[in-house]
Chain A
């Protein structure tokens, strides 16, 4: 395969935002996750936990609660006092409604999904009717003294439990009046705390209310009599979240110490039918607060300040050894945050509110495998571009020639021209963006940097011709009639003739840029596309899916290539299919069209299509062969997948030229170092 010089970059100091809340939807098996910067992400648990959609964050919009309602509609509420509904097709905010109750702390849809309840800072609980187009305020429940931090519906929809500070109220939904008020003990390990905050409540169908609070207690209440039934002291710190399974036979709580506890309803003795809640399993997958938990039928899902989303399968519920049986820890977004200008060796890093442009260093030295070469020039930080306004950046791109930067927020599209004069860099704003270029989901430049391709969130694709310091609108491909699905992924052929675009569910569309019309559509596949690219010369479209399948589709011939058919026939190596992060980028060797470079977070791979495919008996991850090994053996064991796991976690990798690679790593230790310190726990002997 040969030797490469690898620019190993670790200065991308990206820190994901902490997870604030998660909401699991049983019907579609999707998980909505909101982060502290207001970003909302949708994970498809059936598609190998792929993050298929995201809504960019907003500084003023701290999302405190998420819920799903009937028809898989997603609502969130936050400290700005607004209830927001998301448009899952167009990846946009459908509308926002002010609840007029101050900051909203909690939101809950009734069991049938037709009504929405929010708990506000001023102590009010407000009921909204969910109409097909919008939500409508219906009425207030009896006002409470302090903020409503948690809400839960009784499965019959007749009563609700609301957790406040120091007490839990049970409301009758019909009358809107409080039926019971259950005072929670402030005592904490014998010491009286100032306040006891009820972080979470859950209302079970037998009338039991489970509460979790800041004193580390999990308590069971009888809502009929308003009495305390049982207390479990599970932590020395706050218990911040609770989620109950649909069968109501198990629930999970998350604590500020990073532990989650699993409770199960277990028979007391072998003979009696009496059952009892028992704390069965503790899991410690987090270092920081577990702010939120969810309970899917087969797994416990948790997230918190340490930015990991952890999916812990319940082994007794999993029957088959497949993706669902493995513990998942999702840390990095499943999309690209980095773009690269090969000609000028530039890297553009995308953060939530700014962009960083770096120039890679160089070396004149050579070496053998494993050497670190002395630098003749170190990497330079050329530019930091800050966005104005509260909105997060959705996407960004630097042109291959390095003289254009384009990026977009939810309401504005920006294009900048870079001028290089010796060592000086000047930035020129391209103003007067047309009205249709309001917001982009994905941006790409053509290989010769003369064209700009923009996927807007209404499903249309715009093509702009770039001139010196200005641009001209060439064409817009409208979305297929009847769909408004956004195209999240774009690929442009190096000769500039073909444009491939893919949304989250439908197939990949290929457009002819020359003739400005749809050329063909690659047949839809069950799993979402995670990366797209068009090979130079052959114009083969390479598509990676979240189930780790890779297809190669010949655009001129409008059919899958022979190689693609061969690998589908033989099947991928089982180790390849068992990888748990999606492929986020595909690149090509400029001189050898048979070589495809792909990477996920833990490995990169160069596929040499000329070599035989590995079968399940061969070793997929070739360890480095000893130097004295004869060529015969090496040739015999050689297969098409050349994999290296040297760089991880890997956020970006590409071929700069035939002999140079760039790899952007983000070590987890560096992220942890930037997080706030966790709650100090006493260890033995300290």
Chain B
């Protein structure tokens, strides 16, 4: 049964709806978003479920929008025409319509049509049709005249017929109506004369059309209040014949509205139409849903404040102007059946089980927002991108790109890749990206001079690659000592083998400071560690914290002494970071990466001793920094955690203990580390004691409540 749900309004921004209502409501490339063009100067992008506008654009004072804004589903751009001839293209990021891409055409535009899956079409007032891309390539091209003089386009609609676009438009001349069907796979324009039957004297108020296998079913609402159906063949029987075929319309529904008002009509599905208009001459305007199969009125809703006689239907929403306010009425219809019509069909699910929330498909929604972030390529590239798939739609874009990768220059590959990434994502996007990366790496191996660094970086930043999807990538980066790429890989890949992690670590430790200075490294994990003021505070803290344990037990007296002999050195070690910030950032990337201990240990043994010492110094430094605050965290965005630091200290010591013990410069480091850890353990043991007493207290409390086998309690119900 068809049902109208509770209406809601989109009125956050007052619409400058003129006496003729709105220019149009059009779908957007994102579901639930609609472009609404008023008859003045403004286009508003609404998110319907949130009932709020996402963006609003206006043309300059003095200019008038003449055709509703549409969305190009292939590029995500919006297109509008003002002053009949000026085409504007813009995206969500643009603020001012004056500054966006502009093309002035040679003829007046009637409408632009855009539906998903094909490029937008521009219909001119003289009946000529052009694809948007072809038009933009040569805006001033000559536009032929198709319809005769005094013939005026009344209504138009754009369809996909078996994956081929087709356009129908209705013209009127001296009370006679003509239908034109333009097909683009064969570029055939067929013209039909609409025979109105006996009721010649009535004017047609509204049209709507739907596809019915081999026919376009054109419904028209006449001023006598009846709905008529006209079947227009999609494939004309014999196009050679010059004689104009005629199509007859037949009565579908009788007197659904009273005439003489501004009525509107829209097909909802095979069996349902929505009609806007007063059911009786004197009554208020109504939105009614009719079942054409059973000739019954399914549901009706009164709109007391009047409408503009316009009705749009997309997905599950009916849009109309109610008074001055744009109103959305969600509409739902289940398959109509006789049982349903008679009310015997069990009505849906019970309300308790909501059928709404589908589970998120993590694979596709991952990193969804990135597409827009990466769309910094200029307008021109956006323009060019769409031409290619329309030329050869059979070959998938990824295949094209792979063949480009085999031959073209780095620069060209980069451009092509950027174009590819900006398009819509297929469900197997990550495997496609993996294939592209492997293609690039394959060429790297055969051609030593070829290293498409930017393209690879771009691929990694798509957040979908993993080590196993492009196995050779990090090896190549290691070969080229590309630390920036390695850092990115370490941050992005969840599955790096320990041998590679270790090789990265080795490189990060061995690369010279002056080399590092020139390289651009992501520094967000490193914050400014060089605040010497806090150090004294920390020393104090340590003194206080040590209160918990008994100094007699401390059998580290001698090392204390040893340490106190050269206090200046230890202080130096603890206060300043032993590595430059860029190296710190790289090491942090290693700290963040996942690993399995038993696989990592053998590789750690291969690192030279002085590098081990350096890394240990750095880890010790981080450890001290961690202990400066109560939450045991480091400042900055995404810093290494205490656990990561501790694990790595343990790992390094486990792997290289004998080596580290032998190096004189590591000795003092180890001693101070030992002393610090010992003091920490003492604190922890004290904390443990406190925790145990608290736990006991809690248990005692619980036992009182719960352990009794039988009790009588008082309970008050409110």
A1-B718, A4-B716 known; A9 and B710 CB under 8 Å? yes
Chain B residue nearest in CB terms to A629: B718
A6 and B706: CB pair below 8 A? no
Residues of A within 8 A of B716 (CB): 1-4, 368-369
Q: How many residues of A contact B (CB 8 A)?
A: 51
Give A7 to B357 CA distance when docked, in angstroms. 43
Give every chain A residue within 8 A of B712 (Cβ-Cβ).
5-8, 361-363, 372-373, 375
B351 partner, pick from A271, A320, A379, A571, beta carbons under 8 A: A571
Q: Which residues of B contact A469 (CB under 8 A)?
A: none
Does B717 reach chain A (CB closer than 8 Å)? yes
CB of B431 within 8 Å of the partner chain: yes
Q: Which residue of A lies closest to B435 (CB)?
A: A270
Cβ-defined contact, B713 with A5, below 8 A: yes
Residues facing A in B334-359 (CB within 8 A) are 350-359
Establish whether residues B714 and A368, one from each chain, have CB atoms under 8 Å apart when the complex forms: yes
CB-defined contacts of A367 to chain B, threshold 8 Å: 714
A624 at the interface (CB under 8 A from B): yes
- Decide: A6 and B715 in contact? CB cutoff 8 A: yes
Q: Is the pair B711, A318 in contact by a Cβ cutoff of 8 Å?
A: no
CA distance A9 to B713 in the complex (A): 11
Distance of B596 from chain A, by nearest CB (Å): 14
Residues of B within 8 A of A577 (CB): 352-353
**Once the chains are docked, how many angstroms separate the CA of A8 from the CA of B352?**
33
User: Known contacts A10-B710, A11-B710: does B350 contact A571 (CB below 8 Å)?
Assistant: yes
Q: Give the complex CA separation of A638 and B355 in angstroms.
A: 30
- The one of A8, A379, A624 in contact with B713, judged by C-beta atoms closer than 8 angstroms, is A8
Within A186-243, which residues are at the interface with B (CB < 8 Å)? none
Q: Does A676 contact B (CB under 8 A)?
A: no
Contact A642:B709 (CB < 8 A) given known A318-B359, A320-B355: no
Contact B710 A361 (CB under 8 A): yes
B699 to chain A, nearest CB (A): 13
Question: Are B717 and A606 neighbours in the complex by a CB distance under 8 Å?
Answer: yes
Assuming the contacts A622-B718, A667-B706, asked whether A373 and B713 have C-beta atoms less than 8 A apart, the reply is yes
Asked if B278 lies at the interface with its beta carbon under 8 angstroms from chain A, I say no
B20 interfacial by beta-carbon distance below 8 Å: no
Q: Which of B350, B357, B431, B714 contacts A373 (CB 8 A)?
A: B714
Are the CB atoms of A6 and B352 closer together than 8 Å? no
A476 to B706, CA, bound (A): 47
Question: How far is the CB of B124 from the nearest CB of chain A, in Å?
Answer: 46
Bound CA–CA A464/B359 (angstroms): 57
- Bound-state CA distance A363–B431 (Å) is 73
Q: How far is the CB of B364 from chain A (nearest CB, A)?
A: 13
Contact call A646/B715, Cβ cutoff below 8 A: yes
Contact flags A124-151 to B (C-beta < 8 A → 1, else 0): 0000000000000000000000000000
- Chain B stretch 472-513: residues in CB contact (< 8 A) with chain A: none
A625 sits at the interface (CB 8 A): yes
- Least distance between B40 CB and chain A CB atoms (Å): 40
Q: Most chain-B Cβ atoms within 10 A of its Cβ — which of A320, A362, A375, A606?
A: A320
CB of A482 within 8 Å of the partner chain = no
- A10-B709, A371-B713 as given contacts; A572 in contact with B718, CB under 8 Å: no
Task: Determine if A2 and B717 form an interchain contact, defined as CB atoms under 8 angstroms apart.
Answer: yes
Check if B428 is an interface residue, CB within 8 A of chain A. yes
Q: Which residue of chain B has the shortest Cβ distance to A315 in the bound complex?
A: B359
Contact A6 B713 (CB under 8 A): yes
CA–CA, A362 to B711, complex, Å? 9
State the majority secondary structure of interface residues on A: loop
Q: How many Å lie between the Cα of A319 and that of B359 in the bound state?
A: 7
Q: Is the CB of A642 within 8 A of B713?
A: no
Residue contact A572 to B710, C-beta cutoff 8 Å = no
For A574, give its contact among B352, B428, B435, B709 (CB under 8 Å).
B352
Q: Are A8 and B711 closer than 8 Å at their CB atoms?
A: yes
The residues of A that contact B711 with a CB separation of less than 8 Å are 8, 372-373, 375
Chain A min CB distance to B471 (Å): 12
Q: Which of B354, B708, B717 contacts A642 (CB 8 A)?
A: B717
**Chain B: which residue is nearest A646 at the CB level?**
B715
A322 to B358, CA, bound (A): 11
**A625's contact among B428, B715, B718, by CB below 8 Å, is which?**
B718
Question: CA A570 – CA B718 in complex, angstroms?
Answer: 23
Interface pair B713/A634, CB less than 8 Å apart: no
Q: Which residues of A contact B435 (CB under 8 A)?
A: 270
A321–B357 touching, CB < 8 Å:
yes
Collect the chain B residues with CB atoms within 8 Å of residue A578's CB: 352
Q: What residue in chain A is nearest B704 (Cβ atoms)?
A: A372
> Which A residue's beta carbon lies closest to that of B434?
A270
Bound: A315/B362 CA distance, A: 12
Q: Is the CB of A644 within 8 A of B350?
A: no
In chain A between 575 and 632, which residues have their CB closer than 8 angstroms to a CB of chain B?
A: 577-578, 606, 622, 624-625
> How many angstroms from the CA of A6 to the CA of B713 in the assembled complex?
5
User: How far, in Å, is A401 (CB) from chain B's closest CB?
Assistant: 23
- Complexed CA–CA distance, A3 and B709 (Å): 22
Measured in the bound complex, the distance between the Cα atoms of B711 and A644 in whole Å is 18
Interface assignment of A378: CB less than 8 Å from any CB of chain B: yes
Q: Are B714 and A369 in contact (CB under 8 A)?
A: yes
B1 to chain A, nearest CB (A): 18
Q: Give every chain A residue within 8 A of B357 (Cβ-Cβ).
A: 321
CB within 8 Å for A320 and B353 given contacts A624-B718, A667-B706: yes
Q: How far, in angstroms, from A174 to B434 measured CA to CA in the complex?
A: 51
Query: How far, in whole Å, are A605 and B340 apart by their CA atoms in the complex?
Result: 38
Residues of A within 8 A of B710 (CB): 7-11, 361, 375, 378-379
CB-nearest residue of chain A relative to B359? Answer: A315
Q: Does A661 contact B (CB under 8 A)?
A: yes
A434 within 8 A of B: no
Residue of A nearest to B357 (CB): A321
Q: Knowing A270-B434, A577-B352, say if A4 contacts B714 (CB, 8 Å).
A: yes
> A685 interface residue, CB < 8 Å from B?
no
| Contacts A10-B708, A315-B359, A320-B353 given; does A1 touch B434 at CB 8 Å | no
* Nearest neighbor of A321 in chain B, beta-carbon distance: B357
Residue A677, interface by CB 8 Å? no
Question: For residue A667, which residues in chain B have a CB less than 8 angstroms away from its CB?
Answer: 706
| Beyond A369-B715, A375-B710, A572-B352, 4 additional pairs, beta carbon < 8 A | A6-B713, A9-B710, A11-B709, A379-B710
**Can you list 10 A-B pairs with a CB-CB distance of less than 8 A?**
A3-B716, A5-B715, A315-B359, A367-B714, A372-B708, A373-B714, A378-B710, A577-B353, A642-B718, A667-B706
A interface residue numbers (CB < 8 A to B) = 1-11, 270-271, 315-316, 318-323, 361-363, 366-373, 375, 378-379, 571-572, 574, 577-578, 606, 622, 624-625, 634, 638, 642, 644, 646, 661, 667
Which are the 8 A-B pairs with shortest beta-carbon distances? A270-B431, A577-B352, A1-B717, A369-B716, A322-B353, A11-B709, A642-B717, A367-B714
